[in-house]
Chains A and B, each alone.
Chain A
């Protein structure tokens, strides 16, 4: 059980929560995630990145988009309420190293998991260029926090309501064309965005890390539900990842697998949600 210490709404569908979790706060490193559950008997186990942690206070911060049953229910909870189950930190931490220049690309809610990585990259001495993209201005999150880290910050929206009117791949391509080109790109966002980021950097041979958000159950390597094909091999995202070489990930297969329960989630689950 874990108490919600604070709740903030970042946009119409995106929420930030600080949770009481001293052990996790103490152990966690950039790139790791937790799994939470709102009811131990019938609740689903959903993975969320640890966006930030305060070991002194013993708290972690999560940022999530209300997209389905569990995230919508969580969005209705408030400070003082308890999350029934919280486990972590899970996953292999990001490999942080001073490589020179790192471009961090965040799309939509992907900015939340990107933030701790960008911060760690900066602290390791890298020059950090951040590209943030969203459908429109209202959906842009964590701009101030990212600005505080970035050596350079590029904002794009699909509809041009804020920053440049383009997809994140456009400034990414420009950066790859510059000399010297960046040593590393880290792209986190919707799978389709990560796929195209990887395609963008591939011709320039800019090493590109992506963080995969597959469907999970246990998060400890027990079920294989999170598996993806990377460089022709099967990998478990929860233990081998969540970060992988974007140039090797079979994104089409991953996107397909994410859609496994579309029918069920759109059917029975949705009806019950509306009833709440």
Chain B
């Protein structure tokens, strides 16, 4: 990926569109596939390394129209099967091509509550865009129709026009639903249950709602204002929000049901327990979990050194361990906080990296140094107990393992050291045990995830669960999808 300035992208789009507009006969599939895939305009890497503002600035109207014209409107619509919530993709794209943005927005809203978020953060290349016919024919997944970017375009258009209306709420039923956790799963249930006229209270442990979308995913990838807008809509619908409220500590689940009169509860507490590598030196000064590093920077705004009371390391040389979205976010945050060198260390190759392709590209453009097929053995300490370096081993890929990915095998005697002062461990999250430990009878699996059936119901009556606490660390769209399902069964139960 080489950086193309936004101006050039938009100028190119205008030229192509003018040409198309001169044509009289309808476009044939061949013509559509000849339209160049529209790159996402973004901030210049040299500039954005020093700011927290959003990197991808969004399609222009011309680009959106052109990208929409690339869609073949396949009868079988394989893309829809790739989307976890089965959005009517050809439908909304046709509306854009027809110039009817409002219709596109309405189609999206039928299946997703958070199009501005999902358009930005879905791993499209493994979901809706993976089976896209255009990508298949052109034999390049990067040439698939950019469904996510179009989704974002419409969501942003609607928001910026001030067209988002507060959804209608049915007359009060007198039934009370409590939602624990305000990530995508919790917010979705709140909206769907409130619409039916039930009273809704959202409980959030932190002082700000939004879950990972606020404390984990950085501003430069998902502006906080977008998430806040969703929360404002919920409060406008009459949902109550209780922040600084840790269910299990401030109040137990049983008390909410028995003493506080909640008719149903939805647990959406996410996967908030950082995994460490259990290697020597992991508790030295200068080793962070990605959760801590990102929370300090995002939620506590430590990047705003002038104003924020929460400190964060002034690092010179950083090592980030891992290859997922969390690792990319941590590495790119370290760049923005002023680190001179950021090394991303991953034990497989780029092909196996679970991060979104776009984030990997952006991280490279911003100067993150990728170390593939390497893994840390121990973290080295100076005489004061602070991180001074990291010792790694080189790896090679062996036979595929259970996950179908080729298993990395350490090359003996290949140890080498990198001099660094900060380590960020980003190798994944397990589920937080707090609710499980304080709620007798709530069944969990061996990883500590709450067990819920296909309707979102747990082992306890009137208690539902969804999102990462059920799935293990997953995605925003899956959490939202689970929320939709659980909300439907909660509404059904309460209607009885």
Kindly identify, within residues 235 to 272 of chain A, every residue whose CB is under 8 Å from any CB belonging to chain B. Answer: 239, 250, 252-253, 256-257, 259-261, 263-265, 268-269
**A259 pairs with B285, CB closer than 8 A:** yes
Q: Let me know if A125 is at the binding interface, CB within 8 A.
A: no
**B301 pairs with A41, CB closer than 8 A:** yes
Q: Bound state CA distance, A202 and B1, in angstroms?
A: 61
**A234 pairs with B245, CB closer than 8 A:** no
Interfacial chain B residues near A100, Cβ < 8 Å:
none
Shortest Cβ gap from A53 to chain B (Å): 13
Q: Let me know if B244 is at the binding interface, CB within 8 A.
A: yes
Q: Let me know if A90 is at the binding interface, CB within 8 A.
A: yes
Number of B interface residues, CB 8 Å?
46
Known A-B contacts A85-B243, A225-B288; A44 and B309 likewise in contact (beta carbons under 8 Å): yes
Q: Let me know if A88 is at the binding interface, CB within 8 A.
A: yes
Q: Let me know if B261 is at the binding interface, CB within 8 A.
A: no
**A23 pairs with B251, CB closer than 8 A:** yes
Interface with B: A112-120, A155-163, A177-185, A214-222, which one? A214-222
Q: Bound state CA distance, A40 and B250, in angstroms?
A: 19
**A227 pairs with B283, CB closer than 8 A:** yes
**A27 pairs with B314, CB closer than 8 A:** no
Q: Let me know if B434 is at the binding interface, CB within 8 A.
A: yes
Interfacial chain B residues near A253, Cβ < 8 Å:
283-284, 385
Known A-B contacts A42-B304, A234-B283, A253-B385; A220 and B434 likewise in contact (beta carbons under 8 Å): yes
Known A-B contacts A42-B304, A220-B432; A228 and B283 likewise in contact (beta carbons under 8 Å): yes
**B250 pairs with A42, CB closer than 8 A:** no
**B289 pairs with A87, CB closer than 8 A:** no
Q: Bound state CA distance, A140 and B244, in angstroms?
A: 33
Known A-B contacts A45-B300, A253-B385; A40 and B283 likewise in contact (beta carbons under 8 Å): no
Known A-B contacts A42-B301, A42-B307, A261-B311; A221 and B250 likewise in contact (beta carbons under 8 Å): no
* Cβ-defined partner of A223 (8 Å) among B282, B289, B384: B289
Known A-B contacts A44-B309, A223-B292; A257 and B245 likewise in contact (beta carbons under 8 Å): no
Could you mark each residue 259-287 of chain B with 1 if its beta carbon is under 8 Å from any beta carbon of chain A, else 0?
A: 00000000000001110101000111110
Q: Let me know if A189 is at the binding interface, CB within 8 A.
A: no
Chain B interface secondary structure, helix, strand, loop or mixed? Answer: loop
Interfacial chain A residues near B301, Cβ < 8 Å:
41-42
Shortest Cβ gap from A82 to chain B (Å): 13
Q: Bound state CA distance, A227 and B245, in angstroms?
A: 23
**B250 pairs with A87, CB closer than 8 A:** yes
Kindly identify, within residues 297 to 311 of chain B, every residue whose CB is under 8 Å from any CB belonging to chain A. Answer: 300-301, 304-311
* Cβ-defined partner of A257 (8 Å) among B285, B308, B309: B285
Known A-B contacts A222-B295, A260-B285; A70 and B309 likewise in contact (beta carbons under 8 Å): yes
Shortest Cβ gap from A244 to chain B (Å): 14
Shortest Cβ gap from A226 to chain B (Å): 9
Could you mark each residue 149-193 of chain A with 1 if its beta carbon is under 8 Å from any beta carbon of chain B, else 0?
A: 000000000000000000000000000000000000000000000
Q: Bound state CA distance, A222 and B299, in angstroms?
A: 13
* Cβ-defined partner of B295 (8 Å) among A43, A70, A218: A218
Q: Let me know if A101 is at the binding interface, CB within 8 A.
A: no
Number of A interface residues, CB 8 Å?
46
Known A-B contacts A256-B384, A269-B309; A222 and B283 likewise in contact (beta carbons under 8 Å): no
Q: Let me know if B246 is at the binding interface, CB within 8 A.
A: yes
Interface with A: B101-109, B201-209, B409-417, which one? B201-209
Shortest Cβ gap from A232 to chain B (Å): 11
Q: Bound state CA distance, A23 and B255, in angstroms?
A: 12
Known A-B contacts A42-B307, A256-B385, A264-B311; A220 and B246 likewise in contact (beta carbons under 8 Å): yes
Q: Which of B206, B305, B309, B433 has the most CB of A within 10 A?
A: B309
Kindly identify, within residues 38 to 84 of chain A, every residue whose CB is under 8 Å from any CB belonging to chain B. Answer: 39-45, 69-70, 84
Interfacial chain B residues near A256, Cβ < 8 Å:
284-285, 384-386
Interfacial chain A residues near B176, Cβ < 8 Å:
none
Q: Which of B276, B284, B292, B313 has the most CB of A within 10 A?
A: B292
Known A-B contacts A40-B208, A222-B273, A252-B385; A269 and B246 likewise in contact (beta carbons under 8 Å): no
Shortest Cβ gap from A44 to chain B (Å): 4
Interfacial chain A residues near B272, Cβ < 8 Å:
220-222
Interfacial chain A residues near B289, Cβ < 8 Å:
223-225
Q: Let me know if A107 is at the binding interface, CB within 8 A.
A: no
Known A-B contacts A224-B274, A229-B283; A85 and B434 likewise in contact (beta carbons under 8 Å): no
Shortest Cβ gap from A152 to chain B (Å): 35
**B386 pairs with A268, CB closer than 8 A:** no
Interfacial chain A residues near B304, Cβ < 8 Å:
42
Kindly identify, within residues 5 to 25 of chain A, every residue whose CB is under 8 Å from any CB belonging to chain B. Answer: 23-24
**B244 pairs with A42, CB closer than 8 A:** no
Shortest Cβ gap from A55 to chain B (Å): 14
Q: Let me know if A106 is at the binding interface, CB within 8 A.
A: no
**A27 pairs with B249, CB closer than 8 A:** yes
Q: Bound state CA distance, A45 and B310, in angstroms?
A: 8
Q: Let me know if B42 is at the binding interface, CB within 8 A.
A: no
Shortest Cβ gap from A121 to chain B (Å): 23
Q: Bound state CA distance, A247 and B306, in angstroms?
A: 41
Interfacial chain A residues near B65, Cβ < 8 Å:
none
**A89 pairs with B249, CB closer than 8 A:** yes
Q: Let me know if B124 is at the binding interface, CB within 8 A.
A: no
Shortest Cβ gap from B171 to chain A (Å): 31
Q: Let me know if B195 is at the binding interface, CB within 8 A.
A: no
Q: Which of A23, A259, A265 has the most CB of B within 10 A?
A: A23
Known contacts A23-B251, A218-B206; 8 additional CB pairs below 8 A are A42-B304, A45-B300, A220-B205, A220-B432, A221-B433, A222-B273, A234-B282, A256-B386
Which residues on A are within 8 Å of B, measured CB to CB?
23-24, 27, 37, 39-45, 69-70, 84-90, 217-218, 220-225, 227-229, 234, 239, 250, 252-253, 256-257, 259-261, 263-265, 268-269
Which residues on B are within 8 Å of A, measured CB to CB?
205-208, 243-246, 249-251, 272-274, 276, 278, 282-286, 288-289, 291-292, 295-296, 300-301, 304-314, 384-386, 432-434
CB-based closest 9 A-B pairs:
A223-B292, A44-B309, A256-B385, A264-B311, A87-B244, A222-B272, A224-B289, A261-B311, A85-B207
Q: What are 28 contact pairs spanning A and B, CB under 8 A? A: A27-B251, A37-B207, A40-B208, A42-B304, A85-B243, A87-B205, A87-B207, A88-B249, A88-B250, A89-B250, A90-B246, A90-B249, A217-B292, A217-B300, A221-B273, A221-B433, A222-B432, A223-B295, A224-B291, A224-B292, A234-B276, A234-B282, A253-B283, A253-B385, A256-B384, A260-B286, A268-B306, A269-B309
